[in-house]
Amino acid sequence: MSMKYLSQRVAQIIDEELMSQAGGFSIDQLMELAGFSVAQAVAKVYSKESYSRILVCCGPGNNGGDGLVAARHLSHFGYRPSIFYPKQSKKDLFQRLATQCNNLKIPFVNELNKQLLNNTDLVLDAIFGFSFSGEIRTPFGEVIQTLKETNVPIASVDIPSAWDVEKGNIDGRSFIPTMLISLTAPKMGAQQFKGIHYLGGRFVTPELDRKFELNLPPYPGIEQVVDITNLTNERL
C-alpha cells in the first residue's frame, strides 16, 4: 500500500477532524508542532554553517503561521532568520506568533527584492498552504515572480506556493522549490515534485491513518519528520 496524496477537500476534512471536539487539538498546538517539524526538516538538510540567513516568507493564513513558528525555532537553533510578512493577520494567535519572533529580535523586512535575496542562503516559503485556490492576490503575484527568478534554494511548507493543491504547478506559473515539507500527508499536487521531500506532523493517530487510508510511513526514533524523498520518487 503506497502513501496517499490528499485532495484539497480531504486535507481540509482531516484538519477539521484534528481540531474538532473528537480530535481535541487546538490550532495553537497543531501550528506549534507543524512549524517545529518544518524547522527540524530544514535543519536536517541545510546546515546553519552554510545556510544561516533564512528568509521566511509568510502568507496571511495558517501556512504563514507555520512559517512564523518555524522562524522562531530556527532562531533558537542558531540560524539567523528574517521574516517577510506583507499581509499580517489580525487574529490573536498570529499577532502572538509575531510577538514571539520580535522578542527574539528576528528582523521583519518590508520588501522582497534582489538585493535581499543576494544576502539570503535559503528561502522558506510559507505563503500559501492547502487552502489556496483561484487567483494570486497582491502583493503575492510579484513575490512569486521574484521567487521564480532567484537561484537561492527554496524550501516550501506543505505545498509550493501558488501551485494548485491537486494539479501542481499549472502552466509553470510558480517556482519549483528545492525542498518540500509536506504536513500531515502530502497533497496531490506534490506528486509532480521531484526534489528533497520531508513529511512532518507526527500527531496523526493510527485510527485517523486507517480512516483516511493515509498509509503514512513510520517516523524514525524521536524525530518529528521523516524523509520521504525516495518514497515519493518511487512512484514517478
Q: Which residues are annotated as a binding site?
A: 62-66, 125, 129-135, 158, 161
We find the least distance from the C-beta atom of residue 120 to its own copies, in angstroms, to be 21
With b for 16 or more beta-carbon neighbours within 10 A and e for fewer, the 144-158 pattern comes to bebbeebebbbbbbb
We find the least distance from the C-beta atom of residue 78 to its own copies, in angstroms, to be 9
Which triple of cell numbers denotes residue 164?
Answer: 494548485
32 binds its own copies (CB under 8 A): yes
Cα 158 to Cα 99, 103, 129, 182, distances in angstroms: 24, 26, 6, 4
DSSP letters for 36-67: HHHHHHHHHHS-TTT---EEEEE-SSHHHHHH
We find the least distance from the C-beta atom of residue 205 to its own copies, in angstroms, to be 5
Residues annotated within the binding site for (6S)-NADPHX are 62-66, 129-135, 158
CB 162 within 8 A of CB 144: yes
Range in contact with its own copies (rule: CB under 8 A) among 3-11, 110-118, 171-179, 198-206: 198-206
Cis peptide bond prior to 206, omega within 30° of 0: no
Which triple of cell numbers denotes residue 208?
Answer: 485517523
Which triple of cell numbers denotes residue 111?
Answer: 520588501
Residues annotated within the binding site for K(+) are 63, 125, 161
Contact map string, positions 199 to 218, toward its own copies, x by CB under 8 A: ---xx-xxxx----------
100 binds its own copies (CB under 8 A): yes
108 binds its own copies (CB under 8 A): no
Which triple of cell numbers denotes residue 129?
Answer: 498552504
Among 28, 121, 209, 227, binds its own copies (CB under 8 A): 28
109 binds its own copies (CB under 8 A): no
What gap in Å lies between CA 214 and CA 185, rounded to an integer?
Answer: 7
Range in contact with its own copies (rule: CB under 8 A) among 51-59, 96-104, 174-182, 184-192: 96-104
- Contact footprint for its own copies (CB under 8 A): 21-26, 28-29, 32-33, 36, 39-40, 43-44, 72, 76-77, 93, 95-100, 103-105, 202-203, 205-208, 219, 221-222
